[in-house]
Amino acid sequence: MLLRDEVQLLRNIPYFKHVDPCKLKLLAFASQRATYKPGDILFRQGDGGDSAYVILSGKVDLLSGPPTGEVRIGEADSKSIIGEMSLLCHGPRRMTARAATEVETLRIAKDCLGKVMADSPRMSMEFSRALAERLRAMTTELDTVRLGQLSLVD
């Protein structure tokens, strides 16, 4: 795939929609393309976050829990980015990502993403907005669980 094609693929990701094309070119050039077969692990829960993955094609299962009792908590497909939370929050991976189908990704290193974000306030704002939306969704889900537990007690 040509560099310009990778730049166009990145532009289709909401986080990168408003990023300067030169910066997208830098991201695409510095990224590593990788292909995973069904069952391959992209990263494991608890690992350090050294990169984010843009899913170019295929589906990835998002799992939580110990390897012997993992529970599927979500799915990511093309035009998704995964693994960015541990980069932004400087913590371990909160989940395991396992290829459900054949998956093609662009792996963006933490340093490269950080440099582009530092030079692109709009991109930083998009990441902040996405994090806030995830936090709101998790809070809503937690409230629903709590309300369900309260009604069981009554």
CATH number at residue 24: 2.60.120.10
Give pLDDT, residue 153: 56
Cβ atoms 117, 52 nearer than 8 A: no
Local confidence pLDDT in tens for the 154 residues of the chain: 678 888 888 888 877 887 888 888 888 888 999 999 999 999 999 998 889 999 999 999 999 988 788 889 889 998 888 998 887 777 889 899 999 999 999 999 988 888 888 888 888 888 788 778 878 877 887 777 777 766 655 5
Cβ atoms 87, 18 nearer than 8 A: no
Domain that holds residue 135: 3-153
Give pLDDT, residue 36: 98
Tally of domains in the chain: 1
Closest CA to 21 of 7, 6, 31, 32: 7
How many CB atoms lie under 10 A from the CB of residue 89?
11
